[in-house]
Amino acid sequence: MSLHRLRGRHLLWLADYSGEEIRHMVELTLEMKRRYYAGERVIPVLRGRSVGLLFEKPSTRTRISLEVAVAQLGGHTVYMTPSETQLGRGETVADTARVLSRYLDAIVARVKSHKTLEEMARHASIPVINGLSDLTHPLQAIADMATILEKKGRLKGVKLAFVGDGADNVLHSLLLAGSKLGLHITVATPPQIRPDERILSIALKVAEESGGSVEIVSDPYEAVSGADVVYTDVWVSMGQESMAEEKVRLLKPYQVNAKLMEAAGGRAIFMHCLPAKRGQEVTDEVIDGPWSAVWDQAENRLHAHKAVLSLLVP
């Protein structure tokens, strides 16, 4: 595959990328990791490049691993928040994108509304990369697919059970990536909560073509039976604080605890994008237990960022 097809492109959601392109990012993630541990701490493909990090919401993993990833690629990052830029005083997203395009080689943005990313991409002449929106979290999904490949030795045919908030941004990215890569994804979520209809319909159609599958059920035990991966995320995402009480009430039966992991069978590993709300969507015994892959998963964010940026940044 020609890398020219990736260079310079936006990454707003994985629906815009083919299974082959996503697989390439995932494999390159593990290659970056191998090279790091073989002693190649710096792979200077971004020498002289500057990547802007424009974050409307807090971040531990995404921000820090991006800053380190760009340093390990020989480049430079500039971290910005709306309140420290003129965005906070009303300068438009479009004008900000135009100006930042004159200084930077790419922007990774974490936004409250996915529409902000689309607006930024319309007016930027450099790649705009989604560092999490209310709709999707594609960089997370690339790292997660790499973690599954690392732990299970394959992606096609892997059975992933997502238990919890069926309208979650991380789930949406897992649906888009997983369906393109031939995973079997079962989502256990209350009947009142559904994935975004557009994402679900893309995932259902793509899964048919890739030999994967996507299913939504309400019983967590049904979802995890025979699973290779049990995945969850927080019940209350950033920006959903006003819905907290209602969501916690609805999602109570969807906690990933030892009983659920034991019901999954011997193959299952536990994954969570983090941060976790221990005692809510997951118990200590699971996140700290033998099933847990979460620390390797978090580490893989770093290597995934190196893979994605080395492919997309011009």
- Residues in the interface with ligand NVA (CB under 6 A) total 9
Query: Is the CB of 64 or the CB of 243 nearer to ligand CP?
Result: 64
Please list every residue from 160 through 179 that binds ligand NVA, using CB under 6 A: 168-170
Catalytic residues: 110, 137, 140, 233, 273, 301
Instruction: Tell me how far, at minimum, the Cβ of 60 lies from ligand CP, in Å.
Output: 3
143 versus 269: smaller Cβ distance to ligand CP: 143
Which range of residues in 85-93, 97-105, 249-257, 269-277 is near ligand CP by CB under 6 A?
269-277
Query: With binding defined as CB under 6 A, does residue 56 bind ligand NVA?
Result: no
Q: Does 118 bind ligand NVA (CB under 6 A)?
A: no
Measured from each CB, the residue nearest to ligand NVA is: 237
Tell me which of 226, 274, 280, 296 binds ligand CP, using CB under 6 A.
Answer: 274
Binding window for ligand CP (CB under 6 A); candidates: 55-63, 89-97, 173-181, 213-221: 55-63
248 binds ligand NVA (CB under 6 A): no
Residue 59 touches ligand CP, criterion: CB under 6 A: yes
Q: Is 61 in the site for ligand CP (CB under 6 A)?
A: yes
SS3 for the chain is CCHHHCCCCCECCHHHCCHHHHHHHHHHHHHHHHHHHCCCCCCCCCCCCEEEEEECCCCCHHHHHHHHHHHHCCCEEEEECHHHCHHHHCCCHHHHHHHHHHHCCEEEEECCCHHHHHHHHHHCCCCEEECCCCCCCHHHHHHHHHHHHHHHCCCCCCEEEEECCCCCHHHHHHHHHHHHCCCEEEEECCCCCCCCHHHHHHHHHHHHHHCCEEEEECCHHHHHCCCCEEEECCCCCCCCHHHHHHHHHHHHHHCECHHHHHHHCCCCEEEECCCCCECCCECHHHHCCCCECHHHHHHHHHHHHHHHHHHHCC
Indicate the residue among 129 and 216 with the shorter CB distance to ligand CP. Answer: 129
Give yes or no for residue 132 binding ligand CP (CB under 6 A).
yes
- Interface residue with ligand NVA, options 141, 273, 294, 311 (CB under 6 A): 273
To ligand CP, the closest distance from the beta carbon of 288 in angstroms equals 18
